[in-house]
Amino acid sequence: MRKHWILRLVAVFLGFTLLAAACGNDSSDGDAVEQDGGDTGGDTGGDGGDTGGDTGGDTGGDTGEDGGEDTVDLVQGGSVLAKVQDAGVVECGGNDTLPGFGIVDADGAFSGFDIDFCGVIAAAVLGDASAVNVTPLLAAQRFPTLQSGEIDVLIRNTTWTASRDGNEQANFLHTTFYDGQGFMVRDDSSIATLADANNASICVLTGTTTLLNLNAVLADRGIAFTPVTFESNDELNPAFQAGQCEVWTSDASQLAAFAATMDIPTRILPEIISKEPLGPVVADGDTQWAQVVNWATMATIQAWEFGINQENLSSFTDSEDTNIRRFLGLPIVDGDGNESIAEVGLGLPTDFAWNIIEQVGNYEDIFNRNLAGIGLTLAGSPNDLWTNGGLQYVPPFR
Amino acid sequence: MTGAGEGLSADDVALFTARAEAARPPSQKLPPGQWAKKNLFDGFANIIFTLVFGFAGLAVLFFLAVWVIDADYEIVRRNLRIFMIGQFPKNELWRPAVSLLVVMAGVGFTSGALARNAHDLALEQDLPTEKSSWVSLIRRFWAVIAVVIFFVSFARTLTPYLLVAGAFALLVAGRELGWAINAAVRARAIYIGATIFLLSMLVIAGTSSLGGLSLGLITLFWVAGEVGRRDLPGGVVGLTIRWGIALVAAIVVYAIEVAIPYDGFGWENWGGLHITLFTTVLGISLGMPFGILLALGRKSDLPVMKTASVLFIEFIRGVPLISLLLFSNLMLPLFLPIDFERPADLTLTIVVITGFSAAYIAEIVRGGLQAVPKGQTEAAQASGMSAGSVQRLIVLPQALRAVIPAMVGQFIALFKDTTLLQIIGILEFLRVTDVANVQPDFLGKGLAPVTYLFVALGYWAFAYTMSKESRRLETKLGVGVR
């Protein structure tokens, strides 16, 4: 009798384990790491989930097929574009604790660089930039939430990596912000380049990609250092200002944000030791929706390249430039005198770019509104236009 | 001795009290000077200890006070609304305001009616009793009152002051009404209170099938109770009539609620202290009955009940709350059919928190059940009571009385566990500190301690009051006194 009972319990337990193993997939193992990174990612920027993707890769690999089926189901359920048009709102996964990119202001509204791009998509698809519902997500939540179809697009300082593209059924679109891990020192420090930092003490957040990168890169270059680790930037910031460490390493965007709040002058070293391209992400398998999000995002950069911004938009109604007229959805007169409005077949209204610029602005507007305030400059950074030597380059709109 | 049914006479009570007084050792209350000499300054070692620790303590208090007074509270002032109710849209603020007023009136009414019921019962049995004065109530709940006033003092407009004043006024009025109203209404105070609480939620959330279901559930038990007061045929027929009528009433209420077109703000938009208190209240009030049922189920002789209870309790207790929350939030949607409307995060969370607290409460109650001597059950059975009555009238009152401290400990733990809601992206009270500290005006200003202090006071006031009330209840019920 007793033995019988135990056997039955073991069977039930095994059943549970199997169930958990089958469905838990990468989120149970890989994301445990990712979550650590993610917590700090909230404070430090795009670095957060990055390791998660890499470490989660192995575990994610063998369960990829399960997830693949889910995605197929999703697509059969109809295009996200139709769903969004039907619901009249874009469900956007964002961040609520990342300075400059996604925060909650004192009125309780979301604001930030990433949040504005949610508005860009809503303005393009629905003609109303405020038709956005932002769901704040932790690093560990973002891919499962995207897969489950709860959010239509994920714009939450998520670094584009191969393992994520491969394992998370995620489709990474045009990079909106090129970030990277940098180093900050006090202005009066003798450290001018990373090589001078030999035997220096370096402040870093524990449990993040930042720390892993730091260990790997400095070991490669034969630079000895003492890591001084902290749980959050709230502890790290005063420690750095008090001189407990000579160098602070984090994402360059976040270093700039904190430098802007400090009373002491600081410098950022020229070396950037990692690539962190951040941009919108949609679920795999829905090409139409991916194109819509991609072109809405890229329209902000195209507008910038054309020199169209929120203020001067109305002056372009009588522009002579055919490219600009086509881009803004204005009537074009062809050689025979026929008027027509360009239709590029993306599933977007013809005036989508106009709506974006009118309601949210071009890339430069969005950047300056959210990131200039936290001490980031656009000119000369990787996020500058390709014509100015930056990396922002979009395919032609024709 | 008089029989229990005839009640005790006032003389008996006086006699018992006198005997009890005589049996106690004489009180040793010394005047402050002598007390200090006896406890703090007797002997060289004690004097040194007193001076060293006294000065250290005073120094810590002094520097803390200086810091608290010097701190810049602008971050709290600007974010007060987020701390209280999260990201609620500005033009919809009347909803939580009305809800607060309704719920305070309901709390006042229910507590007044229940206090009066207890008062009348005591009078009936000639036990000493009196209406609690407002002074004694303020003394009991001073921590919450003080913290509420402290919180409101950060408001930059008049409305929050008026709202809190109105809420207090309704609380007082509700309590007086509950005390004064006739006995027939008072007997239904619990149902009325639960209905008011639900309506206060629906003011914010609007009508929904979930709201209808909850109202229907209250109706079911309420109507079943009402019908049960009438003379019904015994046995299965009576039961069928009773629950049949109740079920029909519940379905009607559900249908009416669902049919009313009143839109609101779904609770996925709720946040701040509101969500913290709300989840705690629901977790406790739903978890406790469920937990008691689980405890009885575990002690039951029916193998299916027993196995199900044991499996549930041991599974939940064997898994951290955080993993249950993550599972419900991240994994469950992957199992659901694609066109199935996903329940709101908070709905799933409340289910998880209720189940979690139920499993722990079940084990606490089981401990209490084991403390009730077997003779009690046997005597009750021998006097012809039904199995249900034995549990309800004899065993459970004794068992629950014995486990009050552990139970309240569990409630306090649950209250503090609601901070875990932040890992599934819910902006609960503690998480607001993170959100406020990254706003451009406050970023890098090192204001986290200020916000933490503010939040800690909130948690402390409620946890301290719960613990204080539990000790009061213990004294009242004579736990630990033999």
- Domain-located, residue B347: yes
Interface test with A, best of B92, B335, B443 (most A CBs within 10 A): B443
Asked if residue A7 has pLDDT above 60, the reply is no
User: pLDDT tens digits, residue range B286-295?
Assistant: 999 999 999 9
Q: How confident is the model at residue A65 (pLDDT cuts 50, 70, 90)?
A: very low
| Better pLDDT: B212 or A15 | B212
Q: Which pLDDT score is estimated for A21?
A: 47
Contact criterion met (CB below 8 Å) for B219 and B250: yes
Q: Which pLDDT score is estimated for A315?
A: 94
Contacts of A38 in chain B (CB under 8 A): none
User: pLDDT tens digits, residue range A112-160?
Assistant: 999 999 999 999 999 999 999 999 888 778 888 898 888 999 999 888 9
Q: How confident is the model at residue B311 (pLDDT cuts 50, 70, 90)?
A: very high
Mean pLDDT of chain B: 88
Q: Which structure tokens are listed for B54?
A: 């006294």
Q: Which pLDDT score is estimated for A99?
A: 86
> Which residue intervals of A307-389 are DSSP H helices?
322-328, 352-359, 363-370
Angstroms from A260 CA to nearest CA on chain B:
9
Share of residues in chain A with pLDDT > 90 (%) = 45
For residue B461, give every residue at least 6 positions away whose Cβ sits within 8 Å of its Cβ, in sequence order, or none: B143, B144, B146, B147, B148
Q: How confident is the model at residue A33 (pLDDT cuts 50, 70, 90)?
A: very low
Asked if residue B101 has pLDDT above 90, the reply is yes
Asked if residue A17 has pLDDT above 60, the reply is no
Contact criterion met (CB below 8 Å) for B479 and B407: no
Q: What is the mean pLDDT of residues B17-27?
A: 69
Final residue belonging to a domain, choices B70, B89, B113: B70
- Domain-located, residue B53: yes
Q: What is the mean pLDDT of residues A242-264?
A: 87
Q: Which structure tokens are listed for A337?
A: 């005198």
Asked if residue A38 has pLDDT above 80, the reply is no
Asked if residue A31 has pLDDT above 60, the reply is no
B331 and A27: CB-CB below 8 Å? yes
Instruction: Collapse the DSSP code of B76 into the 3-class scheme (helix H, G, I; strand E, B; otherwise coil) and give the result.
Output: helix
Instruction: Collapse the DSSP code of B158 into the 3-class scheme (helix H, G, I; strand E, B; otherwise coil) and give the result.
Output: coil
Contacts of A147 in chain B (CB under 8 A): 334
A108 and B89: CB-CB below 8 Å? yes
Angstroms from B79 CA to nearest CA on chain A:
5
Q: Which pLDDT score is estimated for B339?
A: 67
User: Which segment of A28-37, B128-137, B149-158 scores lowest on mean pLDDT?
Assistant: A28-37
Residue A132's alpha-carbon distances to A53, A124, A358, in angstroms, are 27, 12, 16
Residue B261's CB: how many other CB atoms inside 10 A? 7
User: pLDDT tens digits, residue range B162-203?
Assistant: 999 999 999 999 999 999 999 999 999 999 999 999 999 999
Q: What is the mean pLDDT of residues A367-390?
A: 90
User: Which segment of A366-370, B122-126, B429-433 scores lowest on mean pLDDT?
Assistant: B122-126
Q: How far apart are CA B323 and CA A335, in angstroms?
A: 67
Least CA distance to B445: which residue of chain A?
A: A261
Contact criterion met (CB below 8 Å) for A357 and A308: yes
Instruction: Collapse the DSSP code of B115 into the 3-class scheme (helix H, G, I; strand E, B; otherwise coil) and give the result.
Output: helix
Contact criterion met (CB below 8 Å) for B467 and B408: yes
Q: What is the mean pLDDT of residues A163-179?
A: 92
Residue B450 lies in domain: 272-334+341-482
Angstroms from B268 CA to nearest CA on chain A:
10
Stated pTM of the model: 0.81
A203 DSSP β-pair partners: A228, A248
| DSSP state at residue A134 | E
- Domain-located, residue B367: yes
Residue B414's alpha-carbon distances to A110, B410, B463, B471, in angstroms, are 30, 6, 10, 18
Interface of B with A (CB under 8 A): 78-79, 81-82, 86-90, 311, 315, 326, 329-331, 333-335, 338-339, 342, 423-425, 427, 434-440, 443-446, 448
Asked if residue A319 has pLDDT above 70, the reply is yes
Residue B338's CB: how many other CB atoms inside 10 A? 14
CATH code for the domain in which residue B374 is found:
1.10.3720.10
- Domain-located, residue B450: yes
Asked if residue B230 has pLDDT above 90, the reply is no
B334 and A148: CB-CB below 8 Å? yes
Nearest CA-CA partner of B350 in B406, B248, B424, B254: B424
Final residue belonging to a domain, choices B50, B70, B90: B70
Q: What is the mean pLDDT of residues B303-330?
A: 92
CB pairs under 8 A between A and B: 97
- Amino acid identity of residue A226, one-letter, is T
Q: How confident is the model at residue B447 (pLDDT cuts 50, 70, 90)?
A: confident
- Domain-located, residue B84: no
B329 and A262: CB-CB below 8 Å? no
Q: How far apart are CA A254 and CA A99, in angstroms?
A: 8
User: Which segment of A71-80, B56-65, B258-267 scores lowest on mean pLDDT?
Assistant: A71-80
Q: Per the structure, how many domains does chain B have?
A: 2
Interface test with A, best of B270, B323, B438 (most A CBs within 10 A): B438
Contacts of A107 in chain B (CB under 8 A): 81, 90
User: pLDDT tens digits, residue range A181-209?
Assistant: 999 999 888 998 888 888 999 999 887 77
Contact criterion met (CB below 8 Å) for A48 and A59: no
Asked if residue A363 has pLDDT above 50, the reply is yes
Asked if residue B223 has pLDDT above 70, the reply is yes
Asked if residue A224 has pLDDT above 60, the reply is yes
Contact criterion met (CB below 8 Å) for A252 and A272: yes
A103 and B438: CB-CB below 8 Å? yes
- Domain-located, residue B179: no
Mean pLDDT of chain A: 81
| Better pLDDT: A30 or A388 | A388
Asked if residue A75 has pLDDT above 50, the reply is no
Asked if residue B310 has pLDDT above 80, the reply is yes
- Domain-located, residue B294: yes
- Domain-located, residue B171: no
Interface test with B, best of A13, A35, A234, A286 (most B CBs within 10 A): A234
Asked if residue B21 has pLDDT above 80, the reply is no
